[in-house]
A and B are shown apart, each in its own frame.
Chain A
Amino acid sequence: MREVRTTGVGRSVRWGLSNGLPIALGYLPVATTFGILGRQAGLSVAAVTGMSAWVYAGASQFLAVKMIASGVGFFQIILATLILNFRHFLMSTVLARKIEAGKPAGAALSYWVTDETFVVASVHASPDGLNSLSFLVMALMAYLAWLSGSFVGGMFADLIPVRIVDGMGIGLYALFIALLIPSARKHWQFALVAATSALTAWGLSRLATGLSEGWALIAATLGVSALGTLLPDVETEP
Chain B
Amino acid sequence: MIWLLAGMFLVTYTPRLIPFLFASRLDLPPWVRKWLKFFPYAALGALIFPGILTAVPGRPALAAGAGILAAVCALFIRNITVIVVLAIAAVLLLQNLGVVL
Contact = CB atoms under 8 A, between A and B. Distances in A.
Interface of A: 18, 21-22, 25-26, 29, 43, 47, 50-51, 54-57, 60, 64, 68, 74, 77-78, 81-82, 85-97, 99-101, 103, 106-107, 109-111, 113, 115, 118-120, 122-124, 163-164, 166-185, 189-190, 193-202, 205, 216-217, 220-222, 224-226, 228-229, 231, 233-234, 236
Contacts of A164: 92, 95-96
A60 B8 contact: yes
B74 A181 contact: yes
Interface of B: 1, 3-9, 11-13, 15-21, 23-24, 31, 34-52, 55-57, 59, 63, 66-67, 70-71, 73-75, 77-78, 80-81, 83-88, 91-92, 95-96
Given A123-B44, A181-B71, A183-B41, 19 more contacts: A25-B88, A50-B5, A55-B12, A64-B4, A68-B4, A86-B15, A89-B15, A97-B24, A106-B21, A113-B16, A123-B40, A163-B57, A164-B96, A166-B56, A173-B63, A180-B41, A197-B42, A197-B45, A234-B37
Contacts of B5: 47, 50-51, 54-55
A51 B8 contact: yes
Given A201-B50, A229-B31, A236-B37, A195 B74 contact: no
A199 B50 CA distance: 8
Contacts of A225: 35-36, 38-39, 41-43
Majority SS of interface residues in chain A? helix
B46 A167 contact: no
A190 B41 contact: yes
